[in-house]
Amino acid sequence: MKKPTKLLSAIVVLLISQLYSPISNADTLDFFGEIGTGFYGNSTAVLTNATIVGSGTDLFFSSPLNWGSTHGSFCSYSPSNCEVDVKIQFHSKVMDLNFESYLFDQNDAFTVFAYNGASFLGSSAITSGGLVDLSGYGIIDRIFLDDQSSNSGVEYGSFDFKVSTVPLPTALPLFASAIAGLGFLGWRRKKTPNK
């Protein structure tokens, strides 16, 4: 009678491990598809998978043709340039985050700060345009782009990442049935007289 109990215990352990293993889906921030091009008229933009909050007076969105970014790019705009800080709050936790930076002039630079909840994950100082790879920081829920430019500023685009999700709803019925099975075996064992 102990073999079925051990088997069910093994199943429960397997199900619990599956409950906490993240799965991921590739995604991107699609500025061109969701917003278009030009001045936005606001310093906050809400996309499907992130909210962008600029410290300037407006957000400016560029066409994919400007920098070659498939989904367009953006900058936080002050009265005369893109030398303004930006916060990007993702609507879900993300991992393997990377994006492109487009620096207009030689003295343009920024620092990116990565966070997960209240935890500061790290920062990277960027002094040349190109790929900014934050995949080494693990799971991120927001980034802060601190512009330190002295000429024209920075545009950001080609945000690619994986959305980190836990498959709790699909595994929960299996877990509940395993617990019910263990309960049934315990009940049956108490009901059956010892021989």
CA distance 158 to 181: 49
Task: Count the neighbouring beta carbons within 10 Å of the beta carbon of residue 66.
Answer: 14
pLDDT along the chain (195 residues), means of 10: 58 56 74 92 94 94 81 89 94 94 88 96 93 94 94 90 68 70 72 65
**Which pLDDT score, from 0 to 100, does residue 169 have?**
54
User: Residue 189 contacts by C-beta under 8 Å, 6 or more apart in sequence?
Assistant: 1
- The pLDDT, as a whole number, for residue 65 is 78
pLDDT of residue 63: 87
**Tokens 């108490």 correspond to what residue?**
190
The CATH number given to 24-165 is 2.60.120
pLDDT number for residue 1: 47
Q: Where are the domains of the chain?
A: 2-21+169-191, 24-165
pTM of the model: 0.73
Give every CB contact of residue 21 below 8 A, 6+ residues apart in sequence. Answer: 166, 167
